[in-house]
Amino acid sequence: MRTRVSRRRGSALLEAAMLTPLIVLLLTGMVTIARITYTWYTLRKTVYSIARYVGTQQGVNFCSASDPAITQAINFGLTGTTDGSQPVFVTGLTADMFQITAEQYDPVGQTISACSCGLPGCDPTQGGSAPDFIVVSMPNGYQEPVRILGLNIDPIVLKPQVKVPYGGT
């Protein structure tokens, strides 16, 4: 009778030893996927915040990346303040990673295209009409490192993009 009980204990121990690495690998993979998903949604919220901020400003020069409204919008998305005095939400993000583009709807051709920086363009002071949409993107993306059980795998490039209606005049 004792031999059967000891055999059962040994087989349970063997099964646990075989399954433990698989369970640890699955848990590590789930944590990695959760971290990448969290980073994606944080980047998406950052891009959306920039688009909404610049989309409500008036007199924005979309042809100049140094326009104060664009600089304030990017700072707002990165830090939550327009002066950039707080730390960045996502480590490694910088202002030059973002691209802001104004777009207009052409009722004749029924197409949406980027506003030209020439005359008249999207500048109402130069005789143009205000843009219809603001597109904020990260053309080169954000590289999120992937580490599973100490192994470094090629990073995943996250490229969020948002298009919002322009509300400023």
State mean pLDDT over 74-91: 92
Higher pLDDT, 149 or 57: 57
What are the pLDDT digits (tens) for 104-144?
888 888 888 888 877 767 766 677 778 889 999 999 999 99
Categorize the per-residue pLDDT at 5 as very low, low, confident or very high, splitting at 50, 70 and 90: low
What is the model's pLDDT at position 87? 93
The residue among 76, 71, 116 whose CA lies nearest residue 96 is 71
Q: Is the pTM of this model over 0.85?
A: no
Work out the pLDDT band at 50, boundaries 50, 70, 90: very high
> What letters, b where the CB count within 10 A reaches 16 and e where it falls short, cover 96-135?
ebbebbbbbeeeeeeeeeebeeeeebbbeeeebebbbbbb
Q: Find out whether the peptide bond into 120 is cis, omega within 30 degrees of 0.
A: yes
Q: What is the percentage of the chain residues whose pLDDT exceeds 90?
A: 50
